[in-house]
Each structure stands twice: as C-alpha cells, then as structure tokens.
Homo-oligomer: A and B are copies of this chain.
Amino acid sequence: MTALEIAKKYVALCKEGRNEEALDSLFSKDAVSVEAGGPPGMDRTSKGMDAIRAKGKWWTDNHTVHKAEVFGPYPHDDRFAVRFVYDITNKPSGQRMTMDEVGLFTVENGKITREEFFYSQG
C-alpha cells in the first residue's frame, strides 16, 4: 500500500474503534511510538510492537472512553497527521477530561515505522 492508502486505512480503522487491528496490519514490527510526555517513571518512547501494544493495553485499562472522534488523514509525502479528540475518564482518579491530540505517522516500505503524539501537558 502507498503511504496515502495506509493513512486512509489507519483512520478508517480508528473511526471504527479497531485500533488494535490497525497496529496488527499497518505497523512495522520495529515501529517506534513517542509520546509528548508521560506519567513519572514511564518511558515516553516505546520501541517495537510488543512495547506499543503494552502501552495501548495500559491506556485501555486505565481509561473509559465516552466518545472518540478521529479527523484526517492529513497527508504529506510519506507522513500523515491525524487529529484525535477523546472524551475520557481516567479510572484511577475518576477525572473526566477531553484528550485532544495530533498524531504524526511516518511510512517506510509500506508500513508505519514511527508514530509521534503532539499535545499539551497539564
């Protein structure tokens, strides 16, 4: 698939809540995921699909999603951006919040090799 086809497929799966399927089918096994920030003691960078899936599981275990909106993709050559707006409750704190962020994805050889998340902290 071209970068544009991958971008469209990624967004289509995320809009349907099939995020794990997106990881399985569109990412390189060596992909790297980088957060803008993170809880103390948690590494901002996840290397490889096992680490990325573990981060996803941690996030899913710790948040209730009330509503998820996905905008995009916004392509630029072999990269694309996606905007995510999630209405969530953090389970440990019980705090409900809006998560508004931009993901930047890099495609190489037909797979997503890098995702970086952009958002304000605190």
Contact = CB atoms under 8 A, between A and B. Distances in A.
A31 interface: no
A118 to B, nearest CB: 4
B116 A102 contact: no
Contacts of A117: 76
Interface residues of A, number: 23
Contacts of A79: 118
A5 interface: no
Interface string A93-122: 000000011101000000000001111110
Contacts of A34: 76
Contact of A104 (B72, B104, B121): B104
A65 interface: no
A118 B36 contact: no
A101 B80 CA distance: 11
A9 interface: no
A56 to B, nearest CB: 19
